[in-house]
A and B are shown apart, each in its own frame.
Chain A
Amino acid sequence: MSNVIGIGASPKRKEDQRFLTGRGNYVSDIKRPGMTAGVFVRSPHGHAVLRGIDKSAALASPGVIAVLTGDDVKADGLGSLPCGWGISDAKGVPMKEPPFPMLAQGKVRFVGDMVAFVVAETPEQADVAAELLAVDYEVLPSVVGVLEAVRPGAPQLFDDVPNNICCDWELGDKAAVESAFKKAAHVAKLSLVNNRLIGNPMEPRAAIAEYEPGTDRFTLWTTSQFPHVVRFLMGALVLNIPQHKLRVVAPDVGGGFGVKQFHYGEEAVITWAARRVKRPIKWVASRSEGYVSDRHGRDHVTEAELALDETGKFLAFRVNTLANMGGYLSTFGPNIPTNLYAPLLGGVYTTPAIYCNVKVVFTNTVPVDAYRGAGRPEATFVLERMVDVAASEMGIDRVEIRRRNMIPKEAYPYQTPVLVQYDSGDPMGCLDGALVAADVKNFGIRKAASASKGKFRGLGYSTYVEACGLAPSRFAGRLGARGGLYESATVRVHPTGQVTVMIGTHNHGQGHETTFAQIVSEKLGVAFENVDIVFGDTDRVQFGMGTYGSRSLVVGGAALSKATDKVIAKGKKIAAHLLEAAEVDIQFEAGKFAVAGTDRVKSFEEIAGAAYVPHNYPLEVLEPGLEEQAYYDPVNFTYPGGCHIAEVEVDPETGTVTLVNYTAVDDVGTVINPMIVEGQLHGGIVQGVGQALFENAVYDEGSGQLLSGSLMDYCMPRADHMPMMNVATHSTLCTHTPMGVKGCGEVGTIGSPAAVINAVVDALSHLGVTHVDMPATPNRIWRLLQNASLPVAAE
């Protein structure tokens, strides 16, 4: 049929029409009748006792409608912000889970912690009143680093969380690892920091809440990656609003990267306040406000040791990590540095014994949670740095040591010693492809050319695997998930044969409206332009867990595929009746239902028409209508991975690192839209490069002030930092997802930091440099070279 654009094609993205012509509909574009403006008053201190709040001056300020504080929350008997994961220590003792009030009560625990909400007629009036709010703080010393936080005598955030340790978590066979270390021919050690990051989606967070007294219904428009989860967490667990009385809408959202996949206190406060003031309220965060309230990412301090035999085979891997949680537990917080981290420490290698201990630590910083990759970039960074360190100490080539330890293609499915079982993969194939694509053969010539200009050139590898498609609910439940992680889709065929899909994932830049339409177009044989994808509205979409963890295509796409299959199955029943044939004889192909071996055919449109105008229709056995729904819960994670090769040039005079070449060969399973996959890889790689070379959220120990509090001080990667990227796929098919897809949203971010830092270390290895912490800024590299006492001639 004409205009079918199916799997493997790269049509231009449907959604770009509205985005590129300024016709998107973002939360801050929405205006409601009688709308008021809300602003949050946030703690300027990292740690303080809240002695009292005097509202009188703020309330008397022109235009002010309400000033709400933690005491009002308490008086209304509302819950605190729930954590979606409950992890336990080795003895099964549950993590410490202090309450996270939606407005601070008794104490503030980070700069940006919310103290009050001011509602006024205009944003300006709300700002003025917010400045007039008199908050009496008794300032306490702050602790911001994990090493400092667990030291005896450190400031304590919570009375009942000794040493600020939320959970002392572990995974793996400690004894097996210990005995392997005893037999090792070589033990390589590495200490590293995984730098703290700020997500920086282009659109800041925003929300509008409205209460309709006539129906007792609430509507919350919010910049969210998972509106149904917000409805559940906020309605059921915080505000006690019945689910059928609460609509959550996440319209167009300008990027998330994880930052918008949590239930935030702002959402609960504004919804609660809307009922109190009986008018709609809008809040839009400024960029600076986002810096001190959007959940941050990463922030680990790690000691790792790798035991090897004399041939360089990995015998055992031991990792001890301190992970920063910030001031409270965010929605996924404790899950990220544990369940999404340790199970990936096997990487693409056959390491038989692995043990990982993670101390999850509270500090006076913004809560830390998932940021693109979430746990897996941290695991990949530790492992891939470790492999390079071991190779260099043992005098084995870095590619060779990887080959000696890599899981061969034939060994899949492969059970690791850390829970996960990889279903499919070909890391060696990705490595071989990348070596050619990166022209590694001629690297020596390029290095010599750099040297002749006084520059040091280096090459870095990262052969990695990740776990995505979150997540098999049964598995996640065993690990502490308090919810399910399936996805749902409804395929609604209209009487004229056009299709509307309602899906529980959320599109905020990934191109779902295009990718999902391609799946439907291919499977039903309907024109690509005749398929629309609806998401982001709990009143329109049945249910859904949202978009994160590279799950939308893997889990949501699978639900869509299943629902589409059900439409076909029902269509066959209708066709069998209309064509007076047995159902088993009906074949569906390219948009046509045909009786096998005959020329008797009904088009998809005819079947749809019959379903809605059932004059001649098997009403005795079949309901009218053509609309099917499916829920899909995956049986396993998917395991995309690949090989990334970075090439850098270092200017020893200034310490500047320039990324000169970047190659990625990734296994993402079936590729639905190659252009979109390439775009996801590009974006992911840039974010990983950002972590490796530029980005760093820095807090001041003692005061808890965020020193990198704006784009003036927090360095984002920019277009001119990047070379043209050389990106390709080398796919094996996932064995358990309906279409063989593995997901591609995070691979770029997961593979790249290690590749870049390995390249920087390689460039400087002749000076005795064995490790560089991220970000490898000019200042840091220069200092390293000073300590390497290189004669940096400034001639």
Chain B
Amino acid sequence: MKPFAYHQPARIPDAAKLLTSIEDSKLVAGGMTLIPTIKQRLANPAALIDLSKLGNLSGITDDGATVTIGAMTPHAVVAASELVQTKIPGLSALASMIGDPAVRSRGTIGGSVANNDPAADYPAGVLGLGATIVTSTRQIAADKFFLGLFETALESGEIITAIRFPVPLKAGYAKFKAPASRYALVGVFVAKFADGVRVAVTGAGPGVFRVPPMEASLSENFDPTAVAAIRIDTDGLTSDIHAEADYRAHLVTVMAKRAVEAALS
């Protein structure tokens, strides 16, 4: 680890200002991703700007049609939230499947979404539910936010403050854990709304993506059988020592089926 400066601003504009004014500075939320990369010297920020003292960034609210989760809300809180369990049980289930208890009590939804790890779980929930990413400067639709491998629409100096989830009729998440890391080898989130179904896949490729044929089929008939025969193309899917692309493609179908089962249960 190399030495770095450490700031703990109290207001979002102060945090944004520090972020733009200090070259090579980084926001730190739960630190579950950032700190290990610093320790391994893969990241060497000049300054860390800690978001934990900013007011109002943690917590869950509900206005009937949407559930809003503050960026600094830890995974464990989302997993245990009665509100989320009632309104979007698929999302609390997703949060409960992230990492281990220590990671869930430190790691935050904002950090996970900002990081956009190709095997992370939240991106599937955010894209699958068609959520809105609220930042210090604007609101970004999930469909415009995730730009591929660790890439997002966030601009420099922009801070995620909350994620707003529309409440679906039904939603479910199924995750096939990578054997060693227990991140998603393949994770599929399905959400049924009045105007149709969304299906988002994480783990299978370089970034989270939707599966239009599955969405069309499930919009007709929201049942596991509706996706059981839909195979996705292996083009662009990840192959590594744990799974080749064809196995991942196969798992997308199996996990989609199980996600629908979970949504219906």
Contact = CB atoms under 8 A, between A and B. Distances in A.
Interface of A: 124, 127-128, 131, 288, 653-655, 694, 696, 698, 707-708, 711-716, 777-779, 782-783, 793-795
Contacts of A711: 180-181
A794 B179 contact: no
A696 B240 CA distance: 13
Majority SS of interface residues in chain B?
Answer: loop
Contacts of B179: 694, 715, 777-778
Interface string B1-22: 1110000000000000000000
B3 A124 contact: yes
Contacts of A655: 247
A779 B242 contact: yes
A795 B228 contact: yes
Contacts of B254: 653-654, 794
B68 interface: no
Contacts of A779: 242-244, 247
Contacts of B247: 655, 778-779, 782-783
Nearest to B242: A779
A782 B250 contact: yes
A655 B186 CA distance: 14
Contacts of B224: 795
B242 A654 contact: no
Interface residues of B, number: 24
A777 B176 CA distance: 13
Given A713-B242, A793-B228, 17 more contacts: A124-B1, A124-B3, A131-B41, A288-B40, A696-B241, A708-B180, A712-B180, A713-B181, A715-B180, A779-B244, A782-B250, A794-B228, A794-B229, A794-B253, A794-B254, A795-B224, A795-B225
B170 interface: no
The residue in A131, A653, A794 that gathers the most chain B C-beta atoms within 10 A of its C-beta is A794
Contacts, number: 54
B180 A654 contact: no
B251 interface: yes
Contacts of A714: 180
A696 B180 CA distance: 10
Contacts of A128: 2
A713 B2 contact: no
Nearest to A712: B181
A783 B181 CA distance: 21
Interface string B214-258: 000000000011001100000000001111100100110110010
B200 to A, nearest CB: 19
A783 B229 CA distance: 19
> Which of B2, B250, B253 gathers the greatest number of chain A CB atoms within 10 Å?
B250
B257 A713 contact: no
Given A124-B2, A127-B41, A794 B257 contact: yes
Contacts of B251: 654
B4 to A, nearest CB: 12
A97 to B, nearest CB: 33
Contacts of A793: 228
Contacts of B250: 782
B244 A713 contact: no
Nearest to A696: B241
Contacts of B243: 778-779
Sorted from nearest, which 8 A-B pairs have the closest CB atoms? A715-B180, A715-B179, A712-B181, A794-B228, A779-B243, A698-B241, A707-B241, A795-B228
Contacts of B242: 713, 777, 779
Contacts of B181: 711-713
Contact of A713 (B41, B225, B229, B241): B241
Nearest to A714: B180
A288 B39 CA distance: 12
23 contacts: A124-B2, A124-B3, A128-B2, A654-B251, A654-B254, A696-B241, A698-B241, A707-B241, A708-B241, A711-B181, A713-B181, A713-B241, A714-B180, A777-B179, A777-B242, A778-B176, A778-B179, A779-B242, A779-B243, A779-B247, A783-B247, A794-B228, A794-B253
